[in-house]
Structure 1
Amino acid sequence: MKIILVDDHPVVRHGLNQTLSLESDMEVIGVANSTGAGIDLIKKEKPDLAIVDLNMPGGGGMELVREIRSCPLDVKIVILTSHASQEEIKEALSLNVEGCVLKEILPEKLVNAIRLVLKGRRYYDPNIMQITLTPNKKDKIDQLTNRELEVLKTLAGGLNNKAIANKLFISESTVKKHISNILDKLELQDRTQAALYSYSKGFGEDEWA
């Protein structure tokens, strides 16, 4: 699998390169130190995956993601960050960014996250999800019924209503009712926020493993 690294910090690029070089099935085919350089490199090399710093000169990681997603390229993207706002995470989800990890992630966990993403799954670090949610929304999960909790977990896996219904052997209308109850009880605005909440509880990794 061919990987490109896009980060403006030389130490981070070196550390990532060193970690991935130990994996026999992973090859770093290029590195870039800015958003513009990263976009050009990805378009030229067409890697399987790009690891992109969220905060960089030239527009930042999300600008790169928007540009790459507008092109006919089959490139999976993992965002690397030390922190992220709820709006940034929501945009990442809407742009189908496959992964989001903290810069201090352990090397073995990073490799596992990359492998999940390359299998067509999604990995968002639960610690990032905790940062994006306000404290009063973290303690309401005990209000959910067992079935609502099951539905919440499937939202972390990115399933639509039909897929959830098939997975849990219930009707789509029942799924919609459960999701409505989840939003009310957790005081969340929409399905995306419910997915973020679910990730914050660590359900995302389980659902996609």
Structure 2
Amino acid sequence: MRILIADDHDLLRDTLALFFQAQSDIETHVASDLPSACKMIENDPPYDLVLLDLNMPGMNGLEGLKHALSLEGGQRVALLSGEATRDVVEQALEAGAAGFVPKTLPAKSMINAVKFMAMGEQYAPIDFMTALDESPSHPLTEKLSPRELQVLKGLTEGKSNKEIGRDLDITEPTVKLHMKTLYRKVGVSNRTQAALIARESGLF
């Protein structure tokens, strides 16, 4: 497995690289900014996964992620950050990111996340994505994000994940992530219960 880590924090980048390199099946390469990373993507043999620091030079927010995804080769690109908000992560996943890796993730979990994404899956820590907003309000419209409300509306209409994803122009894994967060916020465990609560509250 070949991965590229792009981060302008030398110590963190090099520590991660050494850590991944210690795994016998991971070949690691590094870059310190987006232009360098893009040049490596274009000129090197294909990478199984590219990890981009959200705040390094050249990124310009999610524009850098989208640019790296657009390069030839079809490489899988994930965000690496210690400061990203859930909203930014949701936007990144919808844009086609392979996932989001917090810099605070335990070492073993980070290895598993990298292998998971390199195999073609989309990854984001469940506890990060389902963290409850600190809000005393209870109405569904204040509890849920606009995207979660759209997904919930699809559930009340009896649509499948695939249909909801097609309607909202997002991937099925992203739909599932939104469903997990709204289940947690609304206090239910499945789509039927979520739809019932939405209907009973007169939301749709």
Length-normalised TM-score, structure 1: 0.63
CA contact (8 A) 1:83 1:128 kept: no
Matches within 5 A, 1:64-103: 64-103=64-103
User: 1:128 Cα shift?
Assistant: 3.2
* Bigger RCO of structures 1 and 2 (CA < 8 A, at least 6 apart): 1
SS of match in other structure, 2:158 = helix
More helix by share: 1
- The answer to whether the 8 Å contact 1:3/1:51 transfers is yes
Tell me how far 1:61 sits from its aligned partner: 6.0
Cross-structure match for 1:206: none
Partner of 1:39: 38
Of all paired residues, the percent bearing the same amino acid is 24
CA contact (8 A) 2:58 2:64 kept: no
**Deviation of the 1:140 alpha carbon:** 8.9
**1:110 paired residue number:** 110
User: Which letter does structure 1 place at the counterpart of 2:92?
Assistant: A
Structure 1 regions of 5+ residues with no counterpart?
A: 142-151, 156-160, 165-172, 181-190, 202-209
Seen in structure 2, the aligned counterparts of structure 1 residues 5 and 136 have a Cα distance that, compared at 3 Å, is: same
Is the Cα contact below 8 Å between 2:51 and 2:79 reproduced in 1? yes
Q: Partner letter of residue 95 of structure 2?
A: L
**Length, aligned pairs only:** 161
Distance 1:193-1:120 versus aligned 2 partners, 3 A rule: closer
Corresponding residue for residue 59 of structure 2: 59
Q: Counterparts of 1:140-159 in structure 2 under 5 Å?
A: none
From the superposition, tell whether residues 70 and 32 of structure 1 become closer, same or farther in structure 2 (CA, over 3 Å): same
Q: Helix, strand or coil: the match of 1:135? A: coil
State the distance in 1 between where 2:175 and 2:136 align: 11
**2:105 is paired with a residue of what secondary structure?**
coil
TM-score, reference length from structure 2 = 0.65
Determine the structure 1 residue equivalent to 2:158: 174
| TM-superposed deviation, 1:63 | 2.7
Secondary structure, counterpart of 2:52 in structure 1: strand
